[in-house]
Copies of this chain bind each other. A is one copy, B any other.
Amino acid sequence: MQTTTTAGTENLTAFRTLINEIHDLNATQALLGWDLETYMPPQGAEMRGKQMATLATLSHNMMTGPQMDEHMTSLRLPGVKEKLSPVDQALVREVGRSYDKSKKIPVELLQAMVETTTEAHPVWVEARKTQDFKKFQPVLGRIIDLNRRMADHLGYEDSPYDALLDEYEPGLTVKQLDPLFARLKSDIVPLLKAIQGSGRAPETDFVFNGQFPANQQMAFSRLVLEAMGFDFLRGRLDLAPHPFSSGSSTTDVRLTTRIDEKDVFSALSSSMHEGGHGMYEQGINPELNRTPLAEGTSLGIHESQSRMWENQVGRSKAFWQHFYPKLQEAFPSLKSHSQEQFYAAINRVRPSFIRVEADEVTYNLHILVRYEIEKALIEGRMKTDEIPDAWNARMQEYLGITPANDAQGSLQDIHWSHGSFGYFPTYTLGNLYAAQFFSTARQQIPNLEQQIASGNLLALKDWLNKQIHWVGKSERAETIVQRVTGQPLDAKYFVDYLWTKYGEIFALSRN
């Protein structure tokens, strides 16, 4: 029996072609989704749904079909990996990950998930509208059962919740998350109490309750995105009911924002947030295009990029030193208030019911509430009828407030109706990664704060491109964090960031 040196790799070109075609279908789906939220005529939804379903089916069939079976078998033969380039090794790893998951989950289970969540969405909308959790409870129960079955098929060591976390943040486990959230709870709850006890409450109406024409807000978002280095030759900014970013390649990345004409800050903040996501996609090595490596490596790392631009930059003193005079030019009513007053207003801290409106201090406490409840539900330690009470008790414990109804409480987020369990923790990971990366950036980029204060955001952008974006999904999140910051993820950077910043604003001393 003869073995050649190419055994297992002779079909690499065919493998890459298949991957390219699957990626083209997925990129096309992304565009259909973007169009659905931006320019599609109102009555186009039904046909669009069918088109997206057809593309998803074709893509799934190609991912699990006999051609892919052959490639996966030969590319996983012993000794093959060593013959592949690092990029091809990563490609086989990431494609293999999706392939294995597709094979592990029975088609009927996938189908049941699609059908149940399709049914659940309008039920959730109605339940939230009427503030009645009981309406949503039965279908939510079925969604949780399906997720538990998913976890069983996918497999896990300690908790079934681990199998679901892995979907959004490869490798993430409860064992890693528990100490991170414990640290956040033990440090942030006292910070929040200290802030509330400071007696300081900044004036905010001039920012959030004025008159700021939509056109000018859009123009200002574009101006800031240009300054950040978002490339409009390879991207766009449009309006959509719910802001999102959508990338189909490094050369076509689309951001959306939403404008409230009373509020001069929210659209800009969401543009910077989505811009952070978009610049990640634009910054990936273009040679990875048309493969699953041309994506952010995980939801957590993706969110770190959006949150860094939104918060570490967009809510910083340095940033507004340069941009507040420009904002005042665009919106002259702001001339009545100083840069310091503006900075205080956009960094107000107050416990609130709705996660998406939460400030930097309280945000992760909202996630903690969801994390604990999701984990208990998936591990079978909580039943769906216990959710509202569990929610409200935690809100009271961590934030000191109790929702008046379920719409302000456990019905506020869309995620569960979509079937997504294990997604929320990636928001907190994003905040932690962002603080840790930014701490390193401050050490490595000379005079970073002064640069930002003079309106030069490109040094940071270039650093992120090089350190984080370029590798795309060819490196795992934990590898990137270790390489860039010299250590694994640690919540202390985020806690220090909060205490330093809010300690100054509210004149607190940390014990």
Contacts and interface: CB of A to CB of B under 8 A. Distances in A.
A490 interface: no
Contacts of A43: 233-234, 251-252
Nearest to A24: B54
Given A31-B32, A32-B28, A252-B48, A39 B39 contact: yes
A54 B249 CA distance: 15
A46 B20 CA distance: 14
A35 B54 CA distance: 20
A35 B31 contact: yes
Contact of A47 (B40, B42, B290): B290
A36 to B, nearest CB: 10
Contacts of A31: 31-32, 35
Interface residues of A, number: 37
Interface in A449-487: none
Contacts of A84: none
Interface in A1-36: 20-21, 24-25, 27-28, 31-32, 35
Nearest to A45: B251
B41 A232 contact: yes
A441 B355 CA distance: 61
A213 to B, nearest CB: 16
B290 A41 contact: no
Contact of A234 (B20, B44, B251, B253): B44
Interface string A352-383: 00000000000000000000000000000000
Given A20-B54, A235-B41, A47 B27 contact: yes
Interface string A225-261: 0000000111110100000000011011100000000
Contacts of A57: 21
A54 B232 contact: no
Contacts of A510: none
A215 to B, nearest CB: 12
A130 to B, nearest CB: 28
A24 B46 contact: no
A289 B48 CA distance: 12
Given A31-B31, A39-B238, 6 more contacts: A42-B233, A43-B234, A43-B252, A47-B290, A50-B290, A58-B58
Interface of A: 20-21, 24-25, 27-28, 31-32, 35, 39-44, 46-48, 50-51, 54-55, 57-58, 232-236, 238, 248-249, 251-253, 289-290
